[in-house]
Structure 1
């Protein structure tokens, strides 16, 4: 046969083959559901009465229908279960699940898996599902996706024993395990406060030979740290480093934060040494955790050294870190260092806030330096920061303790203008002091304000002096 004759024969065969194909691939579908499946029209429940299990299965396996349409149809059937002469069985679910997985419709797949594995009315035991899946002869790629998603569904639903059963089944049958799914399960165990189960599962992951990610490692370390087992967390980091799993800065920050807030500086030094050995540098969060821990313990100079180190590295230093140090120095009574830090903030271009000024104001007012306290109050207000109720109440109390009735009264008036009302006990304090200094007009004015606010003066000396 010549090449020309062969090509003619091939063209004739193609035309003949094409003519035998149905121009309407949906024509063999049951008439009652064709409009619903092909045109997305609403499905009338009454039309389902004549649907049988054979037609139902044919629809789910029809290659001309998209998996998404089959899923929509399946849900409609389930919702109208009462009018059907049959009930969708496990094989129907698995048939559609396989198609959804191939179409990468994972959210829909997960919804169906929840129905057969967790739903109280429908669920099947895991081994029944696993056996049915094997009978379906899923290809290995789809089977791996199926069981990994099952592990996640059980884990999300708090069915931890079933999740462990899935993991064992996959391990024993050579089904590829997705390490990311395992991380999801570790996080679920941690949220459920099942640290023991999380550690056991992580150990199984390691023994199985999975390539452990830093995310799984960090999840386990975080769980241990939350439980106060910082040493064990550090030892796991060391052990996994020997296996080639390198902790990152987030892992180390988890350990550092736990050490710092517990003032466990001995363990902290070991963590920092391990971090340095691994060549992992500090980030802004690392410095914040360290500075917070040092300042709360009173190691302010160490905290200040770290802040200067941040500046030298070009890392962003905000007012929060300076405020921590200033609070620390105030607790130690070292106001000179506080003022030095305030100056350094300005030199470094770090803008102060209300929390920067308040420790200074509070310290001066506590030791009787009300003039200096008010100097920083006015400076703070010029910067655009206002006093809150607690700050005003504190200043009034300090003025009264120092016998400064006029200043206490003026602060009270300033509060009123801003719509802030002092506590009744402080108003009584001011009133008593005004009466003691024979300022009865101001005392009357204060009493009238209190009455308008629905507060009745309670101090006898106050009310009797102005009556």
Structure 2
């Protein structure tokens, strides 16, 4: 892209948006704004039909009036005259699309995007952005070689066109945020980062919510450390921009949601030490930690079984009158369950219910796992029955743990009942270890027919019999004195070992 993109005066509006005034030189490459006198009546007539005809007759009349449709420039001129009615502009666009009456290009798309943005029709604007990028991709496939298509960036072309048409359309600054968010929705991460850099290099910062979404996607795709590097860059924390022509006025600062995103990213990636670093940065910033901030730090303490410090954090939340929500309760309940203190977990669970906070799947899963770890199978079953009542489903690992403790206490029928209820959902797939445990105990109890049925179900779920499964059946037939089946299964097991 040649020449400076944006020259601007920025003034804060609210907390995160800025008002852009672009110089006339910036838009020197914009398309001709005014039609020639000979075409004005036609444009005026179309505008008159759109604004004055009844909705039922306007489209039929327009079709007869303009059977050959419109070129992109004409479309742009028409919608600009009805820009104060963005819903009508959108309907006109959709009509030209459905009737194939305009071969839209980036100029006509951009004009409509600006109109929808200034009319606060954010979802529709993002939809048109997606359409424009797909159209540019098709255009590239027709006009460029494979290497040229690879090097050209359709999102950047749309960005350039939005910049060129910004002033003419009287657009709103967050149109660029909509472009970035639409790209993030499509997982076009590189283009999103490049556009943020181009905006910042010309003194414009996207809204903090847009930057937070960018950081989150970077973390998911490239990890928390890369996300932190992007965080320091897009918020200008790595270096101060001193050059006058790129000095960032109206610069946005990270908010509590930014820091929460980073802490959660590092926690999910297993860098619990970095969570405390981000917490310290949050404390040093102008942002105030909220309940979720405390929950993430509390999760780190619970992970390390530092439950005394976790409770101190809990009391600090109470003192600051922060909301003790379901996330906070689940965090500390899960922490005490992992630490083997199910009694304290129960106390928080009762407090949670008395506070009117509805337990979730995670709440009950924590309790079941905690009871299973301590061998309290009766309490685990009580919570499991509560899960059934609430129509929650066990996940595969929790199911495996519950079945193991039931079988260990020779409560095979209850284990089979739990298993049978779980697999009523055809999409649910137990772990291989669950099948191994149940088949082994069925064989030990001499219920070989039931074990074969379960083994068939196991194969239906995509698992192949392994050595443990074969050994369970061999041991069962040896108890029965069935030498023929022992020999047959022994040969099959030997073949598996050799394969």
Compute the TM-score of the two structures, normalised by the length of structure 2: 0.57
Equivalent pair of 2:117/2:174 in contact (CA under 8 Å)? yes
Say which of 150, 158, 174 aligns to 1:145.
174
Equivalent pair of 2:212/2:258 in contact (CA under 8 Å)? yes
Question: Is residue 457 of structure 1 aligned with residue 499 of structure 2?
Answer: no
Aligned partner of 1:7 in structure 2 is: none
Aligned partner of 1:304 in structure 2 is: 343
Write the distance in 2 (CA, Å) between the matches of 1:183 and 1:43.
45
1:113-154 CA distances to partner (integer Å, 9 max, x unpaired)?
45667834474557743652454262xxx3223222233234
Query: 1:53-452 to 2 correspondence within 5 Å?
Result: 55-63=74-82, 66-73=88-95, 75=97, 81=103, 88=105, 90=107, 92-114=108-130, 119-120=136-137, 121=139, 123=154, 125=157, 128-129=160-161, 131-136=163-168, 138=170, 142-156=171-185, 157-158=188-189, 159-165=191-197, 167-168=199-200, 172=203, 177-193=206-222, 194-201=226-233, 203-204=235-236, 210=252, 212-258=254-300, 260=302, 263-265=303-305, 273-274=312-313, 276-278=315-317, 279=320, 280=322, 282-293=324-335, 295-296=337-338, 299-300=339-340, 302-314=341-353, 320-330=365-375, 338=376, 341=379, 358-364=403-409, 373=410, 376-378=411-413, 389-396=435-442, 399=444, 408-409=445-446, 411-415=447-451, 423-435=469-481, 443=482
1:64-98 CA distances to partner (integer Å, 9 max, x unpaired)?
982023322554698864xxxxx8563x4443333
1:188-220 CA distances to partner (integer Å, 9 max, x unpaired)?
222222414432256438996536543333212
Write the distance in 1 (CA, Å) between the matches of 2:267 and 2:158.
34
| Distance change in 2, residues 1:430/1:105 (3 Å) | same
| Distance change in 2, residues 1:282/1:432 (3 Å) | same
CA displacement at 1:169 relative to structure 2 = 5.8
Gaps in structure 2 of 5+ consecutive residues: 1-40, 141-153, 241-249, 423-433, 459-468, 492-499
| Distance change in 2, residues 1:54/1:257 (3 Å) | closer
**Which gives a bigger RCO, structure 1 or 2 (Cα 8 Å, sep 6+)?**
2
| Distance change in 2, residues 1:37/1:201 (3 Å) | farther
Aligned partner of 1:28 in structure 2 is: 45
Q: For the aligned residues, what is the CA RMSD?
A: 5.1
Give the count of matched residue pairs.
373
Write the distance in 1 (CA, Å) between the matches of 2:114 and 2:261.
32
Write the distance in 1 (CA, Å) between the matches of 2:299 and 2:72.
60
CA displacement at 1:168 relative to structure 2 = 1.2
Compute the TM-score of the two structures, normalised by the length of structure 1: 0.60
Which secondary structure state, in structure 2, belongs to the residue aligned with residue 48 of structure 1? Answer: coil
| Distance change in 2, residues 1:284/1:30 (3 Å) | closer
Write the distance in 2 (CA, Å) between the matches of 1:223 and 1:115.
32
Which secondary structure state, in structure 2, belongs to the residue aligned with residue 28 of structure 1? Answer: helix
Which secondary structure state, in structure 2, belongs to the residue aligned with residue 204 of structure 1? Answer: coil
CA displacement at 1:358 relative to structure 2 = 3.5
1:404-429 CA distances to partner (integer Å, 9 max, x unpaired)?
xxxx33x2245568896895543332
CA displacement at 1:225 relative to structure 2 = 1.9
